Structure 1
Amino acid sequence: MVTDEEIDILLDDLLCIHGYDFTNYAKASLKRRVLRLYSLDKFSSFSELRYKIRTNQAYVERFVEEITVNVTEMFRDPLFYKALRNHVLPLLGTRPFIRIWHAGCATGEEVYSLAIMLREANLLHKSLLYATDLNPSVLDKVRKGIFPLNQMKQYSESYMTSGGQQDFSSYYTANYGQAKFKEELSEKIIISTHNLVSDGSFNEFDLILCRNVLIYFDKDLQDRALQLFDASLGLSGYLALGSKETLKFSGVQRNFLQLDKEKIWKKVS
């Protein structure tokens, strides 16, 4: 077992030696993932785990990948994407250029989902999608645009529910159990590491999506991230969160108006 105090020691090591700041992540969830990795990698003691984190950069990358949550899928919550398609993209389409930020994009399935929607709305040619995550190893998957072929049936169904009208398979090429998405999508995606805990704003955006990331932060870190998004959005820009996330009781709530019951807010002041 690893105690709460030992978890804090690991977090201090990650921050001081490697620059990864997990000190304001929800502790219960973080501890579950550390304990899982402790068992999975068969450590005999906490000191063995700590030594490896302090001295082995390759293992640090594995550790970070395992304790950050990278579960995602294309067109996750199809009705959310339908609301984006029907209520947000038409308004963004009136702008000369569209900048979109996917914060905490994980392996990038949702980035490609939005790129497909922009293409169908004839907006992809004047859009840039910035895909960022704390974990550089998952960003390699975004860069390649390759996902398991056996997931395409589910993704196709979600795509259709979201209002898609094309043949979903026309967006990728199947090869050896993998689906590689077309370069016309990936060439509009700019990929970079970004830490919501410590890094600042880097552009002014028309739409920011950060879905199912804030639920792993404590309240102070949630507020800090929301203030970053507020500072990064232009007036009349949109912020999209996950199904269990909200702006209620946050310091930036007064600056936004929620669209119907969807987890989409418009910046109004």
Structure 2
Amino acid sequence: MNPQRDRSIDLETVEIELLLEGVFRVYGYDFRNYAPASLKRRIWHTIRRENLTTISALQDKILHDSACLERFVLNLSINVTSMFRDPSFYLALRTHVVPLLRTYPFIRIWHAGCATGEEVYSMAILLQEENLYHRCRLYATDINEEVIKKAKTGIFPVQLMQEYTQNYLQAGGKRSFSEYYTAAYNSAIFRTSLKENMVFSQHNLVTDSSFNEFHVILCRNVLIYFNQELQAQVYQLFHESLINFGILGLGKPETLKFTAYEQKYQQLVATEKLYRRVS
């Protein structure tokens, strides 16, 4: 056993704990229960980008420089996303969820952890094609204010449209995907009509409470960054926010199995992690 090696590991753990505690106490962002491996990787990524060499130096800079804090939060909250990501998920929404939504006079859908908004616009397109969007309200939230601002614009890189078109078609798209956007200056600007029923807002799944009652909550590939304690906290938030028989959609790596909420849902489409609240 190498005592110096053990000491360095312990120091790194202590430094991370102090950093996260400081961020929580000063700014109110609570990352203390994020999955350790992913968290450590993103912290060191931020250290390199800030031209620093230690976690303690990053803590000092963050606590005295709110701009550095914003960059840190952005780095910790970035999720990979795309339009109609996992096309089979959207096909399952069309096939199994849309018929349920038709039974409601008005529909509230929450995209929790929406990042830059690609999946919100995907949902709007799907609902327009199913003639449901006019009686829907899409609430899109994220912890990071910068990505919310970007999501509001409805502007995405035009070079991604070929990939998104393939996703759209595999997801059961009924029109030409190019009808939904205008290409200009290397950007794809999506139709204003898609944003009519969207509400974008900053919301922290860790520290903020329920803000409405929803028919559908989608939170895909966000909980993988949380430890079990924090996941349980978020599942409680979702359960409190869903109407009875409401739909919860998770990412492929995520599951309600072995949680306190497993018996409160039935699997609607097991392969796509779509659940229906039953109690």
Q: Please report the TM-score for the alignment, with normalisation by the length of structure 2.
A: 0.94
Amino acid in the other structure paired with 2:251: G
Is this contact kept in 1: 2:265–2:277, CA < 8 A? yes
The residue that corresponds to 1:264 in the other structure is 274
Given candidates 198, 206, 209, the residue that maps to 2:215 is 206
User: Partner amino acid for 1:198?
Assistant: T
**2:123 aligns with one of 109, 114, 118:** 114
Structure 2 segments unaligned to the other structure (5+ residues):
1-7
Aligned to 2:4: none
Does 2:163 correspond to 1:165? no
Return the offset for 1:50.
1.8
Distance 1:248 1:166 in 2: 37
1:254 aligns with 2:243: no
Amino acid corresponding to residue 66 of structure 1 in structure 2: N
- Separation (CA, whole Å) in 2 of partners of 1:245 and 1:186: 29
Give the counterpart letter for 2:208 in structure 1. Answer: D
Separation of aligned partners in 1, 2:59 and 2:105? 51
The question of whether the paired residues in 2 share the 8 Å contact of 1:73 and 1:109 is answered with yes
Q: 1:192 aligns with which of 201, 210, 215?
A: 201
The aligned counterpart of 2:234 is 225
Which residue type is aligned with residue 109 of structure 1?
E
Pick the aligned partner of 1:40 from 40, 49, 73.
49
Deviations 1:220-257 (A, max 9, x none): 11011011101100011100000000011111111110
**Paired letter, 1:55:** H
Aligned counterpart in structure 1 of residue 112 of structure 2, from 103, 109, 112: 103
The alignment status of 1:153 with 2:162, answered yes or no, reads yes
1:142 and 1:160 map into 2 onto residues whose CA distance is: 23
Q: Which residue of 2 aligns with 1:51?
A: 60
Secondary structure of the equivalent of 1:3? helix
What number of residue pairs does the alignment pair up? 269
Indicate the residue corresponding to 2:5 in structure 1: none
Give the distance between the partners of 2:146 and 2:122, measured in 1 at CA: 20
Letter in 2 for 1:242: G
RMSD: 1.2
Q: Which amino acid aligns with 1:60?
A: L
Q: Give the stretch that moved more between structures: 212-221 or 4-13.
A: 4-13
Contact 1:202 1:232 in 2 (8 A): yes
TM-score normalized with structure 1 length = 0.97
Q: CA deviation at 1:20?
A: 0.5
SS in 2 for 1:39: helix
Residue 107 of structure 1 aligns to a residue whose secondary structure is coil
Q: Is the 8 A contact 1:227 1:251 kept in 2?
A: no
Among candidates 26, 31, 36, match of residue 22 of structure 1? 31
In 1, distance between residues paired with 2:79 and 2:88?
22
Cα distance in 2 between the residues matched to 1:147 and 1:248? 36
Map of 1:177 onto structure 2: 186
Contact 2:181 2:191 in 1 (8 A): yes
Percent identical among aligned pairs is 52
Q: Cα offset for 1:142?
A: 1.0
Is residue 87–residue 167 contact of structure 2 (8 Å, CA) maintained in 1?
yes
**Aligned partners of 1:151 and 1:213: how far apart in 2?**
22
* TM superposition shift of 1:27: 1.1
> Is the radius of gyration larger for structure 1 or structure 2?
2
Q: CA deviation at 1:157?
A: 0.2
Give the match's secondary structure for 1:243: coil
Match of 1:94 in 2: 103
SS of corresponding position for 1:259? strand
Partner SS, residue 131 of structure 1: strand
The 8 Å contact of residues 19 and 55 in structure 2, kept in 1 or not, is answered as no
Question: In structure 2, which of residues 243, 262, 265 is the aligned counterpart of residue 234 of structure 1?
Answer: 243
- Aligned residue for 1:99, secondary structure, equals strand
Q: State the shift of 1:44 in Å.
A: 3.8
Distance 1:45 1:213 in 2: 27
Give distance in 2, aligned partners of 1:93 and 1:58: 45
**Structure 1 residues 46 and 86 mapped into 2: Cα distance closer, same or farther (>3 Å)?**
closer
